[in-house]
Structure 1
Amino acid sequence: MVGYRGKLVYTVYRALTYGLSPLLYLHLQWRKLRGLEHPLRWQERLGRPSLSRPPGQLFWFHAVSLGEGMAAIPLIKYCVQRSPDTTILMTTTITSAFEVIKNRLPSGVIYQFAPFDTPAAMDAFLGSWKPNAIILMESELWPNLIMGASKNGIALALLNARMSEKSFNRWSGPVLLPLISLMLSQFSLIAPLSTMQAIRFQLLEAPPFIINFSGDLKYTVEEIGISEREVRSIEDLQLQLAHRQVWMASSIHKGEEEVVLGVHKVLVQMLPDMVTIIVPRYPHHGREIALELQKEGSNVALRSRHEKLMPGTNIYVVDTLGELKNLYRLSPIAVIGGSFLPGSAGHNISEAAAAGCAVLTGHNVGHFSHMVVEMQRLNPLSVLQVSGKSELEAALIKLFNDAKVLEARRLAAKQTFHALSSGVVADVWNLLDFHVFRRVF
């Protein structure tokens, strides 16, 4: 009965998305005009490939944005090593993710934009690429994708599986529960981020035998080759920061700059030669911050303009993408944004920990709460959570004034990261091999 109701709800969803297809096409054109879609490859969003499918086995990895995509890259590289005759197709949705990830993938990996979850786009995509297995990252549960894969006998896996409380409440309602139950039953493997996430998937009636733990792929921070020009740029900035006390506020969301700049004004009174590095989540926000500060008469250096940190310049704004991992190495302290305002969901803290930063974050960390809890459980000094401006200010003052405390937190973060990241990729591969790939080969 539940299966019948799920199919009925899916039929309604498929009809609705079919009817909305013309509007989505107009929406796509509007996004293209605003620069939110690739000017030449936007038709990939309609399921129209820009390349031909090679012969042989093909695995499709899909991640919505930059963070999920970067987490998938080490696993993709491992897959290429273990199964060199298999073609890997990777898709993301967001253009900014495409621009960064395209230079990080191994040669031979095909990179496309993901199609809309409309019947025409998804059927065209699956018909063109004919993947033998689909590996989805985190929360990409799209009915036409999943049911289309099932119809075509394509194995499905969901890695770093998570579902927010809001999404869980929506899916668990009487109308949508039959649909999500039907969708989850099509998977061969669901690897949840935490016990809480596993419970949510079980409550949504995912078959218990497909739920297996493997570790968080966002711990898999790897050495990524950068160009000679990028190396020189980082080294040049490192020289400019030499002999100056530094802290970084990374992945800052709109509104959080008020907290960061408020703390900066206090710290710079105590440490006149200090530098605050601000790395907003979105580059355009960085340019807005720099413009406002310049209007107030502050001296600001903007990274996209290659501006230097001159004497008297205490704020460095990074309005570029894809550099965060290397920038963490220039600062002993990293404050991770997206965590200081109500409703925020946090950001990945593992890159800062891997670089040996003392890691601070707010309390609004959403699905990254499992990462904070894991790290603090192994070593309470590895992550410090603070509430708002006053607590952040006090914590930074203590770190700047006590070298032993700073060094202890830096060492704790790095050691904890290494403990949690060890063997994650191999563990995930083994799960995929047992539950998914053996169905294919």
Structure 2
Amino acid sequence: MRISKQRNMSRGKMTGWQSKGRVISVVYRAVTYALTPLIFLHVSVRRLRGVEHPTRWTERFGYPSSLRPDGPLLWFHAVSLGEGMAVLPVIRHCVHHHPHLNVLMTTTTTSAFNVIKDRLPECVIYQYAPLDIPMAVEPFLDYWKPDAAFFIESELWPNLILATSRRRVSLALLNARMSIKSFKLWSNIAVKPLMSSILSRFSLISPLSTNEAIHFQLLGASPFIINFAGDLKYAVGDSDIPSQQNVNMENLESSLASRKVWMASSIHKDEEAVILWIHKELAKTYSSLLTIIVPRHPQQGQQITEAVQREGVNVALRSQSKAVLPSANFYVVDTLGELKSLYRLSPIAVVGGSFIQGLSGHNMCEAAAAGCAVLTGPHVGHFSQMVQEMQRLEPLSVQQVAGKIELLDHLRKLLSDAKTLEDHRIAAKKAAFGLSRGVVQNVWNLIDIHVLKKHVQERDM
């Protein structure tokens, strides 16, 4: 009797919490509705600046540019390039093994759109995601009528998720992550009921780690919907490279054949100073050394080039030169979508976004899968889990350094000792293979059990 009473009290408590969530969601919806004219103006300005797609920007307001095919439709949504690349293997698996299912993919950024469009199977419909305002979300859902929706990592937009749930669409959060900063934000008593309401709509949450799982539960997710499958970013190394990109790399590969080469990838603003200092120190020993810099954002390429030239170092831009002349000491890649191909040309990869306080690293497994000796800085955020997993399998697979002095020491060892370099490259590839094996199938099994079958059961009720 006492247990029954406790359960009833718990249910009453939850009902009150959810009631608060509904009130907050109504207020949020009203506010975003009122802000629609300003949001439209903001997007229009971004379009004039070239940040939004010049012709397809209306998709951000729910206006489709493709026909919706007949039959069941699965919707995959990722905010940007990294998340979009992570879910590509799952989409390919779906298309290959379940051809009767239609697939819609949405992303938010132009960089993601430009890269991913060439990697999707032809049958997949690709659109920009609607903004989280009622006047964009409602027409989007009315037109596409998805049967299930899969959000990647941390895409928890209230209007989008609540409106999708009201249409009895099964929801899943894949590769789910919740940073400490986001957790503290959503734990605030003013907004926690809203997050609790959002999380209660999901049929499946597949978190990246136990810490993430705890965060989601503390914010109101049921423990029964939380299931582990592995990190989809491990499977990014398995993605195909467009054939045209391989052709574009041939001239570059031939010009690198006789040189000492290392690459700094996903470099953020101000990190180029670290890379330039490292290069100048290494060049004292290796006069023909070539340093490849791949900025996180291609528009930084020109700024980095000018900064390098001011130091009296010869530099070439990828957008202007497909090959590297012997006189060039730096090669700045100011193009999109070529990172994986570049990893295959460089024996050493230093993964950026990790050398300045406040940054949080980038995917190291992609470089490891290509056979690079992998190094990263001290600030890797949630990618610390990836570092630990890779080092657990193969201690030499990724080296996390404390700063530029330690980075310089590691690079000297790798460039001077062919055996050491080869050992690190082999270890990296083994770790990437071990961690990626079975991840996509694990994720799909969870989708099948917790989303697709549940949707069929609810539909037939």
Residue 79 of structure 2 aligns to a residue whose secondary structure is coil
Matched, 1:224 2:240: yes
Distance in 1 between residues matched to 2:392 and 2:440, nearest whole Å: 22
What does 1:147-162 align with in structure 2 at a 5 Å threshold?
147-162=162-177
Q: CA RMSD in A?
A: 1.1
Q: Tell me whether 1:197 sits opposite 2:229 in the alignment.
A: no
Counterparts of 1:231 and 1:405 in 2: how far apart (Å)?
A: 28
The whole-number CA distance in structure 2 between the counterparts of 1:423 and 1:35 is 40
Alignment partner of 1:439 is 2:448: no
Q: Offset of 1:295 from its aligned partner?
A: 4.1
* Structure 2 unmatched runs, 5+: 1-15, 457-461
Normalised by the length of structure 2, the TM-score is 0.94
**Letter paired with 1:320:** T
1:174-213 alignment runs, 5 A limit: 174-213=189-228
Q: 1:397 aligns to what SS in structure 2?
A: helix
Q: Residues 360-371 of structure 1 correspond to what in structure 2 (within 5 A)? A: 360-371=375-386
Q: Secondary structure at the match of 1:297?
A: coil
The answer to whether 1:273 aligns with 2:299 is no
Instruction: Give how far 1:275 is off.
Output: 0.7
Q: SS in structure 2 opposite 1:269? A: coil
Residue of structure 1 equivalent to 2:121: 106
Counterpart secondary structure, 1:305: coil
Contact 1:259 1:388 in 2 (8 A): no
Deviations 1:49-75 (A, max 9, x none): 112211110111000001111111110
Counterpart in the other structure of 1:309: 324
Q: What residue identity is the alignment partner of 2:350?
A: V
- 1:246-261 aligned at under 5 Å gives the runs 246-261=261-276
AA at the equivalent of 2:104: L
CA contact (8 A) 1:301 1:307 kept: no
Shift of 1:292: 2.7
SS of 1:334's partner is strand
Instruction: Check whether the contact 2:276–2:308 (CA below 8 A) recurs between aligned residues.
Output: no
Structure 1 residue 115 and structure 2 residue 133: aligned?
no
Partner in structure 1 of residue 353 of structure 2: 338
Aligned residue for 2:94?
79
Aligned to 2:81: 66
Q: Does 1:424 align with 2:439?
A: yes
Conservation of the 8 A alpha-carbon contact between 2:246 and 2:341: no
Which of 2, 23, 47 aligns to 2:62? It is: 47
Q: What amino acid sits opposite 1:155 in the alignment?
A: S
Aligned AA (2:314): N
User: How far does the alpha carbon of each residue in 1:301-324 deviate from its partner, in whole angstroms, 9 at most, with x for none?
Assistant: 111112532223211111111011
- Residue 241 of structure 2 contacts residue 340 of structure 2 at CA under 8 Å; is this kept in 1? no
Structure 1 gaps of 5+ residues are: none
Matching residue of 2:182:
167
Please name the residue that 2:12 is paired with: none
Query: When the two structures are aligned, how many residues end up with a matched partner?
Result: 440
The residue type equivalent to 1:370 in the other structure is: Q
SS in 1 for 2:58: helix
Structure 1 distance, partners of 2:257, 2:216, is 49
Tell me by how many angstroms 1:380 deviates.
1.6
Could you say which residue in structure 2 is the equivalent of 1:136? 151
Task: Please list the CA deviations of residues 142-197 of structure 1 after superposition, one character each: whole Å capped at 9, or x if unmatched.
Answer: 11111111111000000000011111001011111111111101000000011111
Q: How far did 1:86 drift?
A: 1.2
Please give the TM-score of this superposition, normalised by the length of structure 1.
0.98
Amino acid at match of 2:294: V
- Please tell me the residue identity of whatever aligns with 1:189: L
Query: 2:24 is matched with which residue?
Result: 9
Q: Per-residue CA shift, 1:334-362, capped at 9, x if unaligned? A: 00000000010110001110011111001
Q: Which whole-Å CA distance do the structure 1 matches of 2:339 and 2:142 have between them?
A: 38
